[in-house]
Amino acid sequence: MKALLVDDTHPLLEEGLIAGGLQVIREFEAPLATLAQQHADTEVIIIRSRLKVSADFLKAFPQLKVIGRLGAGLENIDLNEAARRHITCLRVPEGNARAVAEHALGMLLSLLNHLPRVHREIKEGKWLRESNKGRELQALKVGVIGYGIMGGTFARLLDAMGVDVLAYDKYKSGYAEGGVVECSLERLYEEADVISLHLPLTAETKGYADSAFFNACKNPIHIINTARGPILDTAALVSALDSGKVLSASLDVLEYEKSSFTSLFEGPLPPALASLLERENVLLSPHIAGWSKESFEKMGAGLAQKVLTAIKTD
């Protein structure tokens, strides 16, 4: 059985597939037409975020049985067409969930304690203490929206620290663990001081955090997005920052990212993004929350095992 790797992966993934009896072919640069001509008989394809797996792509590989995504999301795959063709689509969110949770926590703590600002001030020779008084996380209530593997891991990390956590998931019930409190979206809006988004990107969730979202929050909030950029409306966030509805924003993802997550667009910055860059109560990182040495290893080994299991049960 042939496994076609169309993007760079971890050696543990390749080693696992080979140990399971698969022939591993690395084709990181070849265009789709060349891939289809040379590897139309492939039964397993491993991707990351660079490649768009469209209906035309799937049509080019008539024997395809499994698509493995080295990551947490499947939004770059035409899932309806894959299902129609009885192709199993796999992902490994458990591989980088801890990395995402720690990254989100680090960003939040940095802003609660004004670290970007005080770092700049000290470089300028300023030693200002009273104006930079921080907040303790245990004094705040954190709302987690979306209780999948990512949201659940973040919630459990906060719960272990003694933080009050509210969790809302539209499609689940009876999921809360430990001291995490399962609640309605209305209660979360009413009580949360911090809101962290852990939603997949779908037609339903695109633009989820918009002006109505921010206006529904009773308290001024700190917002975190380590999920997908288009879930949060940047212009609405800027307005909420200006009005004081949002006290700080921790963003590992931006709605302006290319679909491959490898860069922003070319050309001048959109006004909303330019506004974010001027603020010291906004912390940005380049979609690296789930990208740690440990997570890369766990995703590689985990995806290999899932692929081999899927093949055996096919």
Q: Does residue 314 have a pLDDT over 70?
A: no
Contacts of 24 (CB under 8 A, 6+ apart): 3, 5, 14, 17, 18
The answer regarding whether domain 94-284 maps to CATH 3.40.50.150 reads: no
User: What is the distance between the alpha carbons of residues 54 and 293, in angstroms, rounded to a whole number?
Assistant: 30
For residue 69, the one-letter residue type is R
- Report the range of poorest mean pLDDT among 30-39, 44-53, 143-152, 246-255: 30-39
Residue holding tokens 């109560």? 281
Q: Give residue 67's pLDDT band: very low, low, confident or very high (50, 70, 90).
A: very high
User: What is the distance between the alpha carbons of residues 288 and 190, in angstroms, rounded to a whole number?
Assistant: 31
**Overall average pLDDT of the 116-123 stretch:** 96
Q: Does residue 180 have a pLDDT over 80?
A: yes
User: Cα-Cα-Cα-Cα dihedral of 88, 172, 203, 55, to 10°?
Assistant: 10
- Report the range of poorest mean pLDDT among 51-60, 87-96, 236-245: 51-60
Between residues 200 and 36, which one has the greater pLDDT? 200
Which helix or strand (DSSP H or E) is residue 23 part of? strand 23-26
Q: Give residue 238's pLDDT band: very low, low, confident or very high (50, 70, 90).
A: very high
Q: Does residue 164 have a pLDDT over 70?
A: yes
Give the 3-state secondary structure of 162-182: CCEEEEECCCCCCCCCCCCEE
Half-sphere exposure of 297 (CA within 13 A, CB side): 3
Domain 2-91: give its CATH superfamily: NAD(P)-binding Rossmann-like Domain (3.40.50.720)
- Residues 138 and 162 sit within 8 Å (Cβ to Cβ): yes
pTM (predicted TM-score): 0.91
Q: Which of 69, 65, 63 is nearest to 49 (CA)?
A: 69
What are the sequence ranges of the domains in the chain? Answer: 2-91, 94-284
User: What is the distance between the alpha carbons of residues 155 and 101, in angstroms, rounded to a whole number?
Assistant: 8
**Which residue numbers are catalytic?**
228, 257, 287
- Residues 300 and 13 sit within 8 Å (Cβ to Cβ): yes
Q: Does residue 32 have a pLDDT over 80?
A: no
User: What is the distance between the alpha carbons of residues 275 and 282, in angstroms, rounded to a whole number?
Assistant: 10
**Overall average pLDDT of the 77-95 stretch:** 95
- Report the range of poorest mean pLDDT among 86-100, 177-191, 201-215, 260-274: 260-274
